[in-house]
Chain A
């Protein structure tokens, strides 16, 4: 540290009583003779007072918030959520002058006409939500009991343009939260002689908002004059309080305008209900666990970032928070804020269509039958089912049945025997070991067969114990009784990634063999060609499109078509189990 900073540190230590008695004495004796040191100490002492004050103000501010929170809690039932403020009033007493159109503006349209009974107090609620209280005697209708008044309201830029209203105050532009024009209808000579109360609805509340009075000049242009602060409204306080909640709890992870750690919050009051927000803000985990789709969707979009829980915020706090966000949102273009409801809808629609399509697809696949179908005929040509292998120690291998997707192999044998024929004490049959090895991705998709053409033996293999890559043909340890030194084949049939696959290996039997089969995608013609070169002793192996191949392919195309509905950063999987799949009719449109 620089020497000046060192000195400051020493003064700080002195002021906070952290110096040792000896150091303190030394410091004080220096203080007695050094005027510039005295000044420095005085300045730093003042700074400490300033810090104490700043910290006290912070504490008072917190107490104030605590106080209002308590009060609002008590008054919570009074409907704080209603955003109503008196924003701009144009009171016309120039009843004799028509509302002239500003050059270049579209023609002013007529407002709404109300008939008022001057003998009573009247409370009007206009079409656009303004509330107008006209006390008895505030309109002088020249003795008539009733008077017709015309009311024009403008809360959007479009409406202001339509009525040709200007927002200028002595030549300076104003930002307007809304305007209202009240005048006697039909050019009658009635006059507003006493003040009437008007409450305008506005979505945006700002501290600086003021009430203006409209005065029309000779050319019909309105000048807004005589600004008047709005009375301390509940709304303003609610919004200010909501802001404090936002700053204290939300600001670190959320912005109104853009996504930070969490989503942008502008217009959240329009996207979600107050009850939902209440539940979610207080304990989002509970909402997530309940399977709420929107919550889970957001959770996934934001990489499963956990949001804090705020169990201490009550209904009033959250309503004020929403009021604040709604108010601030008016300054933000809603198109710039990501709207997850839209994406979620698309996601749900995708999920509905996709699940219906997949259901159909599964049914078609089931109806296709096995991927490799084995048909056995006995010597007379009648179809026989496999004889059961009784002998089993260790257990015999179990062939796996794969469903057929696009292709189906058929293996047809006449007068062939299963492996159990070998168990008879035939001459030359010795205990042997035969393994077929394959890469795991193909092993999972094919059926493997052993053929001994000379003995008319044809049997299907299955995985060895605890293996996903090695097949055996009799017991789970790869043992099989085999005649020795005879021509044999092992072949694999199946399909992989929408293509038929086939592999065959020709070998001469011995007592110990491991054969490596490498299935590869081939066209149907190539497979037929390969098989035709084998001497299989009338064992027929055929490959063809599966029964429902065409329809399954059509569904695949449909699934690809609806894929764009699925938003990129989410799997749409949120409590979808409960979602009912749509009927086939909904899907038909996509299939054609």
Chain B
């Protein structure tokens, strides 16, 4: 599958097919990470972050200056270098915190100046998303599932009610907003805590 097809798939929301194709780059990333002291698990984590970054950018009509594989390799190399630095400093891995300082490692050649600037905004956005993700993960599984099903938007409310086993459409909707309220309350707390820190 060529890059153009993959881009088209992502723009039309067919993430699953696109990701299957993108995952073919993983052996190269694994080799990279393992040759620099990481495990396969590390490689998987790094690659996941890189894919998230890529998809986020592509959704925003971001123009690539290189091949997708080169871009992914560059991002992974950057993330892993950062990760190694963190480990030397005995800090546990947290991708949210790698925006504090050493963005200088970005200019390693694979990324253009525009891409670097983009990375900056991305990292800010990323910390917001991480917090929201954390709030969502602290919800009950059923709540998160319900919100995800709604978010996905492929099922009608009637189908959702049947799938999740709610009695009526109105109680499904009521439940959805209760879950959303819980997530919102928790996110607010988390944001407050981060500001204090």
Q: Which residues of A line the B interface, CB within 8 A?
A: 1, 4-5, 8-9, 12, 40, 43-44, 46-60, 62-64, 66-67, 232
Contacts and interface: CB of A to CB of B under 8 A. Distances in A.
Contacts of B131: 46, 50
Nearest to A1: B174
11 contacts: A1-B170, A1-B177, A8-B181, A40-B184, A43-B184, A46-B128, A50-B183, A54-B137, A55-B148, A63-B20, A64-B26
Given A8-B177, A63-B20, A67-B23, A53 B44 contact: no
A60 B48 contact: yes
Interface string B149-183: 00110000000000000000010011001101101
Contacts of A63: 16, 19-20, 22-23
B55 interface: yes
Contacts of A51: 136, 147-148, 151
Contacts of B180: 8, 12, 44, 47
Nearest to B21: A63
Contacts of B88: none
A62 B17 CA distance: 10
Contacts of A232: 39-41
B178 A5 contact: yes
Contacts of B22: 63
Chain B binding surface, main DSSP class: helix
A4 B181 contact: yes
Nearest to B55: A56
Contact of B151 (A40, A55, A62, A64): A55
Contact of B129 (A5, A12, A44, A46): A46
Chain A binding surface, main DSSP class: helix
A422 B112 CA distance: 121
Interface in B82-99: none
B133 A66 contact: no
A232 B19 CA distance: 24
Contact of A50 (B24, B55, B136, B188): B136
A46 B44 CA distance: 26
A60 to B, nearest CB: 5
A47 B23 contact: no
Nearest to B190: A46
Contact of A48 (B125, B151, B174): B151
Given A47-B180, A50-B136, A60 B51 contact: yes
A301 B135 CA distance: 46
Contacts of B40: 232
B68 interface: no
B138 to A, nearest CB: 11
A49 B180 CA distance: 13
A252 B151 CA distance: 24
A54 B181 contact: no
A5 B40 CA distance: 45
B15 interface: yes
A227 to B, nearest CB: 16
Contacts of A48: 151
Q: Which of B39, B131, B133, B135 has the most CB of A within 10 A?
A: B133
A63 B40 CA distance: 16
A518 to B, nearest CB: 59
Given A1-B173, A49-B129, A232-B40, A66 B23 contact: yes
B144 interface: yes
B44 A64 contact: yes
B170 to A, nearest CB: 8
B7 interface: no
Contacts of B132: 46-47, 49-50, 53
Contacts of A54: 133, 136-137, 144, 148
B187 interface: yes
A55 B151 CA distance: 9
Nearest to B19: A63
A54 B138 CA distance: 13
B117 interface: no
Q: Which of B23, B44, B136, B173 has the most CB of A within 10 A?
A: B23
B184 A59 contact: no
B103 interface: no
Given A9-B173, A43-B187, A64-B44, 7 more contacts: A4-B181, A47-B180, A49-B125, A51-B148, A53-B132, A54-B144, A59-B15
A59 B17 CA distance: 9
A53 B52 contact: yes
Contacts of B128: 46, 49
Contacts of B129: 46, 49-50, 53
Nearest to A237: B40
A110 to B, nearest CB: 40
A5 B177 contact: yes
B19 A62 contact: yes
A1 B55 CA distance: 37
B184 A5 contact: no
- A-B pairs with lowest CB-CB distance, top 8: A50-B132, A63-B19, A5-B177, A51-B151, A67-B23, A46-B132, A63-B23, A59-B15
